[in-house]
């Protein structure tokens, strides 16, 4: 399988945490432990598989400043998503700022990771 195809597969994999997140938010309160667990495991799997793809790419090329900055941004977005997700799943009423960060960060993560993949594969 080509590197470009793997990047496309990882891009499609990003739809799973977004889909399970929408499913989770529409499931109502209190949040189901099963739904939260599925969403967290899917998100973790996506991060691990994306990291594995980039690790393979980085072994063969020298990284410039822009891709390195995008990698750092992606890592920050992942940390923000995991932290806000953990805080939102505590069962306490949702803080609007946390909810907003948790809804915006996936878009920023997808953009930064997509741009990073494009630059590394190109």
Q: What is the pLDDT of residues 61-73, one digit of tens each?
A: 777 888 889 989 9
Confidence of residue 76 (pLDDT cuts 50, 70, 90): very high
- Owning domain of residue 92: 3-121
User: Can you give the pLDDT at residue 1?
Assistant: 62
Higher pLDDT, 92 or 85: 85
Long-range contacts of 110-114 (CB under 8 A, 24+ apart): 110/11, 110/14, 112/70, 112/73, 112/74, 112/77, 113/14, 113/50, 113/70, 113/74, 114/11
Give mean pLDDT, residues 17-30: 83
Question: CA 120, CA 122: separation in Å to the nearest integer?
Answer: 6
Q: Number of structural domains, the chain? A: 1
Question: CA 102, CA 17: separation in Å to the nearest integer?
Answer: 12
Tell me if 51 sits within 8 A of 74, measured CB to CB.
no
28 pLDDT higher than 90: no
Q: Which percentage of the chain shows pLDDT scores above 90?
A: 23
Confidence of residue 105 (pLDDT cuts 50, 70, 90): very high
Question: CA 1, CA 89: separation in Å to the nearest integer?
Answer: 37
The neighbour count for residue 68, using CB atoms within 10 Å, is 12
């Amino acid at each position: 399988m080509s590197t470009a195809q793997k990047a496309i597969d990882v891009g499609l994999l990003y739809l799973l945490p977004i889909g399970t997140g929408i499913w989770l938010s529409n499931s109502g309160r209190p949040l189901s432990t099963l739904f939260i667990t599925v969403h967290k495991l899917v998100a973790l799997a996506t991060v691990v598989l994306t990291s594995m793809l980039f690790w393979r790419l980085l072994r063969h090329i020298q990284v410039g400043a822009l891709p390195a900055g995008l990698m750092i941004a992606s890592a920050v977005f992942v940390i923000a998503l995991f932290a806000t997700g953990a805080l939102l799943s505590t069962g306490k009423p949702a803080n609007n700022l946390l909810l907003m960060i948790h809804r915006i960060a996936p878009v920023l993560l997808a953009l930064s990771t997509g741009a990073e993949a494009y630059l590394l594969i190109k």
